[in-house]
Amino acid sequence: MKLRIFRNFEPHELEFIKSFKNGEEWAEPGTTMISEGQTSPHLYTLLSGWAFRYKMLPDGRRQILSFLLPGDFIGLQGSVFAEMQHTVEALTKVRLCTFQRQRLWDLFNGYPDLAYDVAWLASRGEGIVDEHLLAVGQRRATERVAYLILHLFERCSTLQMTVGTRMHFPGSQTHLADMLGLSLAHTNKVIRALIKTGAIRWDENIVDVRDEGLLRKIAASDQTDRRPRPLI
């Protein structure tokens, strides 16, 4: 998986990444990789598959904070902090690159460029959550759904996980609802309505962005964001 969206690394960096790397693991869909309140001994990079971060209220209401795609760091917050503030769950079967959390310190100590990349990824993560907060706080239901589709489509597109105007979304509508702060029933109605406008199609987990311009108009969105990213 050599994408030009990843920046080039120096030989010594690659060497460190190799040594930093602890191993690879597979996790089945539904696996909880990291739990809120716990101190995980590992850090991960998502190599393939989808995952998501979420928080829950005592009574069970769940807010999905973000979806994680290949290249995303998992558990960084927990390694800088003491305990994780959120839970991470695999949405599909997932391949992970595992790191030892203690070695993060070595990284900061000896590999400033990589440390910078880590900060970059953390910063990018916050940017994504900011964008979600804007959507959930200010957009109405239809706009929100349209926004989320565009957001996911753009990220997938960067990772070459799209085929033309189509993208595979492995989550259920419940996942969308929990991400958007909407009820399942209403999320469904909005999706149906969006399909009727002709902006998208939606069959069997395949989302087809038929009319991106229209979808953007519906989302009340202008944002575009395609910057190169580091790979760790």
Partner DNA sequence: CGGGTTCTTGACTAGTTTCAAGCAAAGTGG
Partner DNA sequence: CCACTTTGCTTGAAACTAGTCAAGAACCCG
CB of 191 to a second copy, least distance (A): 18
For 178, what's the count of Cα atoms within 13 Å in the CB-facing half-sphere?
Answer: 19
Q: Does 19 bind a second copy (CB under 8 A)?
A: no
Task: Work out what residue 162 binds among a second copy, DNA, none; the CB cut-off runs from 5 to 8 Å by kind.
Answer: none
Show Cβ contacts of residue 93 under 8 Å, excluding neighbours closer than 6 positions. 26, 27, 28, 29, 49
Q: Which residues contact 41 (CB under 8 A, 6 or more apart)?
A: 100, 101
Number of other CB atoms surrounding residue 168 within 10 Å: 14
Please give the residues from 107 up to 126 whose contact with a second copy meets the rule CB under 8 A: 108-110, 112-113, 115-116, 118-120, 122-126
Question: Given the rule CB under 7 A, which residues bind DNA?
Answer: 140-142, 172-174, 181-189, 191-192, 202
Q: Which is nearer to a second copy, 103 or 201 (CB)?
A: 103
209 lines the binding site for a second copy (CB under 8 A): no
- Rank residues 111 and 167 by Cβ distance to a second copy and give the closer one: 111
Closest to 89 measured CA to CA, from 36, 158, 135, 168 = 36
Binding partner of residue 6 among DNA, a second copy, none, CB under 5 to 8 Å per kind?
Answer: none
For residues 27 and 47, is the Cβ–Cβ distance under 8 A? Answer: no
Beta carbon of residue 190, minimum distance to a second copy (angstroms, whole number): 15
b vs e for 179-211, b when ≥16 Cβ sit within 10 Å of the residue's Cβ? bbbbeeeebeebbeebeeeebbeeeeeebbbee
Backbone angles phi, psi at 67, to 5 degrees: -95, 145
Q: Shortest distance, CB of residue 208 to DNA, whole angstroms? A: 14
| Closer by beta carbon to DNA, 192 or else 226 | 192
Which tokens belong to 49?
């598959």
Cα–Cα distance measured from residue 196 to residue 47, given in angstroms and rounded to the nearest whole number: 36
Among 5, 29, 62, 210, the residue binding a second copy under the rule CB under 8 A is 62
Q: Contact region for a second copy (CB under 8 A) — 27-35, 44-52, 177-185, 192-200? A: 177-185
Q: Which does 185 bind (CB under 5 to 8 A by kind): a second copy, DNA, none?
A: DNA
The answer to whether 12 contacts a second copy (rule: CB under 8 A) is: no
Residue with Cβ nearer a second copy (136 or 231): 136
